Chains A and B, each alone.
Chain A
Amino acid sequence: MANLNDFAKARTAQIALRVRPMGVWLRRGRLETLIELLIRLSGVSTIVIVGLIFLFLLREGLPAFLDIPLRQLFGSRWYPIEGFYGIWPLLVGSLVVTAGAIVIAVPLGLTTAVYLGEIAPVWQREILKPLIEVLAGIPSIVLGFLGWVALAPIIQSLGAPTGLTALTGSLILAYMALPTIISISEDALYAVPKEYRDGALAIGATQWQTIWRVVLPAARSGLAMAVMLGIGRAIGETMAVMMVTGNAAFIPDLGLDLPLHPVRTMTATIAAEMGEVAQGSLHYNVLFGIGIVLFVVTFAINLVAGRLVGSVVRRRGGQL
């Protein structure tokens, strides 16, 4: 009898337990729907905003492609006052400056990351890492200023007709991309398990062989990501570049000394001229047209890079 009583009590307790949480579930259910809604809303709004930006860009920029013959639009003369809207020099300017920045920043950034992550003793790492974060925090305008005052004279003394050149821009951009490349690469190296290094060293590999043949390949996709994000930072940069590239909108002869000539980038052109044009004028449309070109180029680079990273990941059996 006592047993049965106990059983009944336990049973009641069980039921009570089951009922109470149900009330909580109900309330939590409503809260959850609300949270879900908010999350969905913010997600959707991001997409909508991107879409609107793109539509706006198209609306303002498309007339440029319709009103000006394509041959002229991609011609080599940019002289809006006289009605020449050839954006080719600007495109070349952007590409030269960005490519130069990549050529400088990628090797420098990767080797720095390898040094920091694999070779440097702890005390050096502790000094260098915060310094790199400081570098990341320098506003681009300050870097531009530095380029103008300190870097340009050095470039000029190298024999260039002026210190404000594509190379100056590349160097400044490289320094802007470096902190991103270094810190993300270092994370990627850090994520490589110590066991891999031990395994290589225990066979008799030198530290360098271990880094080159095991650690770097294992960190490949992370390193690719670091480079992409670094480049992403460089491509869109405007102010610093505008200050130090000389802004000459003509293509010098395509030669090896191209980086030592002044150039003007797409971003700098938009920033410099947008304030002066009448809204709705052809010049205004062309500036937006440049924006479209920039958009397409950036998009294409992201797409290609994404493919690259994706294929690397797939080739390695889904292992990041």
Chain B
Amino acid sequence: MAQGRPIDNNRAIKIDVRDFSFYYGDFQALDSLTLSIREHEITALIGPSGCGKSTFLRALNRMNDTIPGARATGDVLLDGQNIYDPHVDVTELRQRVGMVFQRPNPFPQSIYDNVAFGPRVLGLARNSDLDDIVRQSLESAGLWDEVKHRLRSPALALNPGQQQRLCIARAIAVKPDVILMDEPCSALDPVATLRIEDLMRELAQDYTIVIVTHNMQQAARVSDRTGFFWLGKLIEFDETERLFSTPREALTEAYITGRRG
């Protein structure tokens, strides 16, 4: 599917997840996942509520670290390096693996300051370079034309769709390799949703994207590969086209047909 983009199985593996489990205290939220996320592909994660999609996504840039009692076992290799290795610098990891959230969460600051936030805290650029980065990021996020005359106005004055694209611009301003998106369109109307989907296709040329979605059509429209989660287990992981047309597992079939209604 994926709007005619052919699957290229020679793409390098960007994130290799091996036998990965995750616990919130005594509760096991993820059970020995193994899958490979390939460079410049869009990988979609689907599954019923509470099956661990967000947990898995947040495990990929260690956003779960702050939760007391949370614990991970197994390996997540980013370009071959285990991100759970004690020597890994979490801030550097998160620069490389950015995140866009379910509800648009721009800071209550100006549009410019939102995009410049990352480069500033990471010390990537100053002044004129910063202007360039802000501009490029907003262009890549398809927002530049709408906001170029009001970069100093508050980000919260934008509409939700624009806010979400601003958050995407904010994420790509630090030049990550991977962008994780947790139901990025669930708070948006259909038009804004389609814009973000188009944007994702464009971004996939430069970035590796992992998206969680409840929307089957969205997964089918936008992704190259899809993983189906069920009660913390990865039931099936395959090329999107195949998973939706001829799922191997009965559970997958029941879920996608039930979801399609």
Binding site for B on A (CB under 8 A): 121-122, 193, 195-196, 198-206, 209, 213-214, 217-218, 316-317, 319
Q: Nearest-CB distance from B141 to chain A (Å)?
A: 14
Measured in the bound complex, the distance between the Cα atoms of B154 and A217 in whole Å is 13
Judge if B257 is at the interface, Cβ distance under 8 Å: no
Of all chain B residues, the one with the shortest Cβ separation from A195 is: B105
- Select one of B68, B101, B118, B122 contacting A198, CB under 8 A: B101
User: B121's contact among A205, A217, A316, by CB below 8 Å, is which?
Assistant: A205
A195-B101 in contact given A122-B68, A201-B63 (Cβ < 8 Å): yes
Name A199's contact: one of B93, B167, B174 (CB within 8 Å): B167
B92 at the interface (CB under 8 A from A): yes
Q: Which 7 A-B pairs have the closest CB atoms?
A: A204-B95, A195-B105, A317-B154, A202-B99, A204-B94, A203-B118, A204-B91
CA distance A145 to B252 in the complex (A): 74
Which of A196, A204, A217, A218 is the one whose CB lies under 8 Å from B118? A204
Say yes or no: A319 contacts B108, CB within 8 Å.
yes
CB distance from A202 to the nearest CB of B (A): 4
Does B103 sit within 8 A of A, measured CB to CB?
A: yes
Q: Does B81 contact A (CB under 8 A)?
A: no
Query: A205-B117, A205-B122 known; 19 other A-B pairs, CB under 8 Å?
Result: A122-B68, A195-B101, A198-B105, A201-B66, A202-B61, A202-B99, A202-B101, A202-B171, A203-B121, A204-B91, A204-B95, A204-B174, A206-B121, A209-B121, A213-B120, A316-B154, A317-B108, A317-B156, A317-B157
| Bound: A193/B106 CA distance, A | 11
* CA gap between A206 and B66 in the complex, in Å: 12
B137–chain A nearest beta-carbon distance, Å? 12
Cross-chain pairs A/B with CB under 8 angstroms, 13 sampled = A198-B63, A200-B107, A200-B117, A202-B101, A203-B95, A203-B98, A204-B95, A204-B121, A205-B117, A213-B117, A213-B120, A317-B153, A319-B156
Q: Is B170's CB within 8 Å of the partner chain A? A: yes
Q: Is B109 an interface residue (CB 8 A)?
A: yes
Cα A319 to Cα B167 in complex, Å, equals 19
- Do A195 and B99 form a contact, CB below 8 Å, given A200-B117, A203-B94? no
Evaluate contact between B121 and A196: CB separation under 8 angstroms: no
